[in-house]
């Protein structure tokens, strides 16, 4: 059995950045189920938020984040996020990330629900791709060992502490065991739960399933963010139309050409994502259409092609010239706010097990993530994981969160005698229809019962697709169960049978085995 000080599962910004810090402290292995560049980070167009201008401050960034989180942000975690942001941007610059500049200074853009321009981009709308390329190149040139095409399948625990991980070699089908002192999960999100998603095929909830099966606490799973503006063209995979398009002046119009967002909120087109997504859904129902449009035709062609080169190119390849044509869009699954419960040092309730990035729940996003805080969260808390491991018990672990928690074990459900073994398409359709943007108890209960039955039916996984399906069904069920428990509407979680928020529900739902 191979022995390492640190094993990092996942190769997005969270995994790469944390591994690059840990390699200075000991032997480090990255396990990734595809190649090192397969991750959500690559698709992040919006950028990374940080209060680095003289007109901005961490206090402003804090207030915007708290407001977007709709009463469920952990204030201590948010304070850490915004205060440490400038230093983490410096780290990325030192690694070589080529952030866009204007007149010799880093250019800052405005995005929805931000009160100031504070979003850094690289290559216009290719921020994630530039960060991923820079960090993966750094990892390749370092002493980090990278194991590609290997899917972590089980966390090995002895006497309450992590001692290793099992992984499936996706090419040979063999199972290997790897020993470590510390295990860091950075496996990304679970966008493949849904029929329409901005996430790549690798986003299958692997970290959630791994951690839950090992006995870790999972929290805030009812909060899954739907990006309001994904390209909606027949036969074309949903493609993210960045928040920054509206930040630059784009407006939403219905199929009749009417600008509708001011009818729903004073913030108009720059409202928080949950409000925009629901407003679009209502408008689509009202106009009997599967889409609305973003209009940026009033911007100059040079601004559009310079600011959004990837979006312009992708749309042009599919017959749309966005300098002249309206962009058809509809909501799509985008980001998981909940995840593996960690403290402000990235620690789970299992000794030696850490989590970072989208698979973790630090509490900074609350019920609805503020745009461009996700890449920032990955580097801020990745740094703190490395620091905690290095300094050990000298770093005090505490939480000042005033938000209470309610703990539930996974509900026992009546398992129906289904004969049809589920497939990915059936799961995605179920999630989209029953655990989507607008929910109710009847739909959620049907989903949870169906998912419990599917768990019984699924045969033991033997390859990557079957392992991923197992992980998705479990992650989906955790989401449905949490959504049933929360009898209110808050942030990204909207219940038509409980359409108002309630102070009684300013608490976190924590699920365990």
User: Could you list the active site residues?
Assistant: 273
Cβ atoms 19, 8 nearer than 8 A: yes
Between CA 80 and CA 461 the distance in angstroms is: 40
Between CA 166 and CA 124 the distance in angstroms is: 40
> Which of 309, 301, 244 lies closest to 46, judged by CA?
244
CB under 8 Å to 102, separation ≥6 — which residues? Answer: none
Phi, psi angle pair for 282, to nearest 5°: -60, -40
> Which of 86, 106, 88 lies closest to 98, judged by CA?
106
Between CA 156 and CA 179 the distance in angstroms is: 9
In 350-398 the beta strands, taken as DSSP E runs, fall at 353-355, 360-361
> Which of 42, 34, 32, 41 lies closest to 10, judged by CA?
32
The DSSP string of 284-300 is: HHHTT-S-EEEE-TTS-
Phi, psi angle pair for 158, to nearest 5°: -140, 125
Helix axes 424-434, 464-485, angle to 10 degrees: 20
Element containing residue 131 per DSSP (H, E): helix 127-140
Between CA 20 and CA 31 the distance in angstroms is: 14
Between CA 176 and CA 165 the distance in angstroms is: 8
Pairing of strands 48-49, 150-158: unpaired
Query: Hey, what are 165's tokens?
Result: 């991980």
């Amino acid at each position: 059995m191979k022995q390492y000080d640190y094993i990092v599962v996942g190769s997005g910004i969270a995994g790469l950045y944390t591994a690059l810090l840990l390699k200075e402290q000991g032997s480090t292995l990255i396990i990734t189920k595809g190649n090192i560049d397969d991750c959500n980070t690559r698709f992040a167009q919006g950028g990374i938020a940080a209060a680095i201008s003289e007109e901005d401050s961490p206090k402003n960034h804090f207030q915007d984040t708290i407001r977007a989180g709709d009463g469920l942000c952990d204030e201590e975690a948010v304070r850490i996020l915004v205060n440490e942001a400038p230093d983490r941007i410096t780290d990325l610059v030192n690694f070589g990330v080529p952030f866009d500049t204007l007149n010799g200074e880093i250019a800052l853009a405005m995005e929805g629900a931000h009160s100031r321009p504070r979003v850094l981009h690289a290559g216009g709308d290719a921020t994630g791709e530039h960060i991923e390329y820079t960090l993966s190149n750094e990892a390749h040139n370092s002493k980090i060992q990278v194991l590609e095409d290997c899917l972590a399948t089980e966390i090995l625990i002895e006497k309450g502490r992590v001692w290793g991980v099992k992984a499936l070699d996706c090419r040979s089908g063999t199972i290997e065991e790897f020993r470590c002192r510390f295990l860091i999960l950075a496996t990304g999100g679970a966008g493949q739960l849904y029929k329409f998603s901005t996430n790549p095929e690798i986003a299958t909830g692997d970290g959630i399933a791994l951690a839950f099966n090992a006995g870790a606490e999972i929290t805030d799973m009812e909060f899954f963010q739907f990006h309001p503006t994904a390209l909606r063209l027949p036969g074309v995979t949903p493609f993210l139309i960045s928040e920054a398009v509206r930040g630059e002046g784009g407006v939403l119009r219905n199929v009749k050409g009417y600008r509708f967002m001011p009818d729903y909120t004073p913030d108009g087109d720059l409202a928080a994502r949950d409000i925009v997504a629901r407003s679009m859904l209502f408008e689509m129902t009202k106009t009997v259409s599967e889409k609305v449009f973003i209009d940026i035709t009033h911007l100059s062609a040079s601004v559009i092609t310079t600011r959004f080169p990837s979006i312009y190119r992708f749309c042009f390849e599919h017959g749309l010239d966005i300098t002249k044509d309206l962009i058809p869009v509809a909501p799509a699954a985008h980001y998981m706010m909940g995840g593996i419960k960690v403290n402000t040092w990235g620690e789970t309730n299992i000794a030696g097990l850490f989590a970072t990035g989208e698979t973790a729940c630090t509490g900074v996003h609350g019920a609805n993530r503020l745009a461009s805080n996700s890449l920032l969260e990955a580097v801020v808390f990745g740094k703190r994981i490395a620091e905690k491991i290095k300094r050990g018990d000298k770093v005090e672990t505490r939480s000042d969160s005033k938000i209470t928690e309610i703990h539930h074990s996974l509900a026992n459900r009546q398992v129906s005698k289904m004969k049809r073994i589920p497939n990915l398409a059936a799961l995605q359709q179920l999630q989209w229809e029953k655990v989507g943007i607008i929910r109710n108890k009847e739909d959620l209960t049907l989903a949870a019962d169906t998912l419990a039955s599917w768990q019984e039916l699924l045969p033991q996984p033997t390859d990557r697709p079957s392992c991923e399906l197992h992980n998705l069904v479990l992650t989906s069920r955790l989401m449905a169960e949490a959504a049933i428990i929360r009898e209110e509407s808050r942030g990204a979680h909207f219940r038509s049978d409980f359409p108002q928020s309630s102070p009684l529900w300013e608490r976190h739902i924590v699920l365990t085995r």
